[in-house]
């Protein structure tokens, strides 16, 4: 099980019930509740940020603590969200961390004129990591996910939850309120679509890794 999955599944630190109660209390904007929430979930957010950063280039300039603080500020802006539970919160947190990292990567890419783009496996966070998977550029993957979302939003969401948030098939099914078989089928279809979409670039860049 990935570090992200351990976090979003509530297998570390505070209990689901305590965190969910705090999440719902923050909807009022009470600063004390916000501070209590930050204290309760800080270590989990830090683990999540560190896990995301492990996929980044070794010369990246972001640190987990700075990433957590930036993500938390964005999460506070969503304090009126009707959080369902801990899984919902950390799925959103992971998505926000992903966007911060993608934006940061785009800025670095623009500055370096395309040198040193990070390549990752689509199954890095998946259950079938043992199988050799083609590697894809993380920014190209982000662009392809936007295209996939325009075609099938559910499949794109499943990729986000599986790959970036590290949820299991069962956790994704519960979070989205759909059947496990549907999630498994859409996950396979989405990966196949992404591999096809990125095949030319992946093959052409194979010698750069």
- Kindly indicate the confidence band of residue 154, based on its pLDDT and cuts at 50, 70 and 90: very high
Contact assessment for residue 123 and residue 190, using Cβ atoms and an 8 Å cutoff: no
**pTM higher than the cut 0.85:** no
List pLDDT tens digits, range 109-153: 777 654 555 555 565 444 333 333 444 567 787 889 999 999 999
For range 67-71, the mean pLDDT: 88
Mean pLDDT lowest among 11-20, 66-75, 147-156: 11-20
Please name each of the domains of the chain with its CATH number.
Answer: 1-83 (no CATH), 117-209 (1.10.10.10)
Residues 172-189 have pLDDT tens digits of 999 899 999 999 999 999
């Amino acid at each position: 099980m990935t570090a992200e999955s351990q976090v979003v599944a509530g297998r570390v630190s505070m209990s689901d019930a305590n965190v969910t109660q705090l999440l719902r209390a923050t909807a009022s904007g009470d600063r004390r509740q916000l501070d209590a929430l930050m204290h309760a979930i800080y270590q989990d957010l830090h683990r999540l940020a560190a896990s995301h950063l492990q996929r980044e280039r070794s010369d990246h300039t972001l640190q987990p603590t700075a990433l957590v603080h930036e993500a938390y500020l964005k999460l506070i802006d969503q304090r009126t969200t009707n959080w369902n539970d801990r899984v919902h919160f950390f799925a959103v947190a992971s998505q926000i961390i992903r966007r911060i990292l993608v934006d940061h990567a785009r800025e670095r890419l623009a500055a370096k004129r395309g040198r040193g783009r990070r390549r990752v496996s689509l199954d890095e966070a998946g259950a079938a990591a043992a199988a050799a998977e083609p590697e894809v550029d993380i920014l190209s993957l982000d662009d392809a996910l936007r295209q996939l979302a325009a075609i099938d939003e559910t499949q794109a969401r499943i990729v986000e939850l599986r790959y970036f948030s590290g949820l299991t098939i069962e956790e994704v099914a519960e979070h989205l309120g759909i059947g496990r078989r549907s999630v498994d089928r859409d996950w396979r279809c989405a990966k196949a679509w992404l591999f096809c979409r990125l095949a030319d670039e992946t093959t052409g860049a194979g010698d750069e890794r």
